[in-house]
Structure 1
Amino acid sequence: MARWQPETTQRLVVAAVDLFTEQGYDATTVAQIAERAGVTKSTFFRHFSDKRELLVAGQETLSRLLSEGIAEAPAEASPLEAVAAGLERASGAMGPANRELGPRLKAAVAASTELQERDALKNVGLAAAMSSALVARGVPDPTAHLAAELGVIAFKRGYTQWSEAERDSEHGLAHYALAALRDLRAAAASLE
């Protein structure tokens, strides 16, 4: 087995999601994931501390992109307009591999309580990153927190719709995430 092949992290994530889907999270071992990805077990541990961490691969990058998009939004942008800018920025980093992985990842998470808990923690981290970026723009904390939570929901809904859409669709993830944010904004307005 080659030790230093390109895109090792992505191969490990794909191998893990496939195995989680095929045989379940609990029945999948780190050794099986490493073997499926074509790396050694020690290479696995250079990338991840345990198999749960595979679910949050790229979370730091995603949080950074969301935050950067919010920070770079025009000064006059409302909190949700700034969140939309963050969603656009983060969506631009999601390519075909992310799209293909979506349905399999969703199935793996749905089948495992432990992965559902890890996914919930990932959402908390994304919301915290967006909320901090909004507060840094001068948005009051409760408003920033609510806007960030809506941003997480919009991103997740948009990602699901994008990953399940026809592959020849001309729309990228940003289209779906921004449409989900508009829907959530309208739903929130109807609460009053």
Structure 2
Amino acid sequence: MGRWEPNTRGRLEQAALELYVERGFERTTVAEIAKRAGLTERTFFRHFADKREVLFAGSGALRDLCVEAVAAAPDSATPMESAVAAFDAAAAMFQERGDLVRQRQNVIAAHAELRERELIKLADLSAALADALRGRGVSDLIARLTAEAGTAVFKVAFQRWIDNPGQRDLSQLVRECLDALGGVGAGR
């Protein structure tokens, strides 16, 4: 087996996604993922806790990217502008990997346990954004509300982007959803 070949983690992620699309998440085993990647099950478990986690391997990097974007926002930025900077950074990352992101999302959408895991990861992202906003001197209440509202805006924009490939840029959809959120109180 090609245990010492480069990009072990990436190969496992690719193999898993291919198998999930071909055979379905529930019918795919860790042994099959490892075999497709040319690795052993033991190697798989060195990189991932379980076969679900393969789909969420980038969550930590996404969180870090968003937190860094909030911290790097100009001092004059409002809390929501800081959050939008985070989601712009995330959008750029997703845009680069468009088809793979869509495949991943289709696998997640088809399974309740994966949707639940994704909601947990989104809650973690929201908490990290709130912490980053508090680090900018934003009050706890405003930080939490901004992080939760911003995460909801991003979630809706992301789903619209997934559902309509090639129509609009994810960053544009984030701004459209943010504008729509502003109209919620006015009943527009």
* The two structures share one fold, judged by TM-score above 0.5: yes
The 1:5–1:179 alpha-carbon spacing in structure 2 relative to 1, beyond 3 Å, is farther
Counterpart-to-counterpart distance in 1, 2:102 and 2:171: 18
- Which amino acid counterpart does residue 160 of structure 1 have in structure 2? Q
Structure 2 SS opposite 1:36: helix
Counterpart-to-counterpart distance in 1, 2:162 and 2:106: 13
Unaligned runs of 5+ in 2: none
Counterpart-to-counterpart distance in 2, 1:39 and 1:185: 50
Does 1:186 find its partner at 2:183? yes
- Give the corresponding residue for 1:28: 28
Tell me the alpha carbon deviations over residues 74-130 of structure 1, each in whole angstroms, 9 at most, x when there is no partner: 22211111101111223333353x311233222211222211111111111111111
Note the C-alpha offset of 1:58. Answer: 1.1
Tell me the alpha carbon deviations over residues 112-165 of structure 1, each in whole angstroms, 9 at most, x when there is no partner: 221111111111111111111111112222221121122222333333344454
Q: What fraction of aligned residue pairs are identical, expressed as a percent?
A: 40
- Give the corresponding residue for 2:131: 132
- Give the corresponding residue for 1:102: 101
TM-score (norm 2): 0.84
- Give the corresponding residue for 1:177: 174
Aligned residues, how many? 188
Counterpart-to-counterpart distance in 2, 1:186 and 1:152: 17
The 1:190–1:9 alpha-carbon spacing in structure 2 relative to 1, beyond 3 Å, is farther
Counterpart-to-counterpart distance in 1, 2:152 and 2:31: 34
TM-score (norm 1): 0.83
Counterpart-to-counterpart distance in 1, 2:17 and 2:105: 9
Deviant stretches of 4+, over 6 Å: none
Aligned residues of 1:55 and 1:118 also touching (Cα < 8 A): no
The 1:70–1:119 alpha-carbon spacing in structure 2 relative to 1, beyond 3 Å, is same
- Which amino acid counterpart does residue 103 of structure 1 have in structure 2? R
Counterpart-to-counterpart distance in 2, 1:4 and 1:92: 32
- Give the corresponding residue for 1:148: 147
- Which amino acid counterpart does residue 99 of structure 1 have in structure 2? G
- Which amino acid counterpart does residue 27 of structure 1 have in structure 2? R
Greater Cα shift, 67-76 or 12-21: 12-21
Instruction: With a CA cutoff of 8 Å and minimum separation of 6, indicate the structure with the bigger relative contact order.
Output: 1
- Which amino acid counterpart does residue 92 of structure 1 have in structure 2? A
Aligned residues of 2:94 and 2:101 also touching (Cα < 8 A): no
- Give the corresponding residue for 2:44: 44
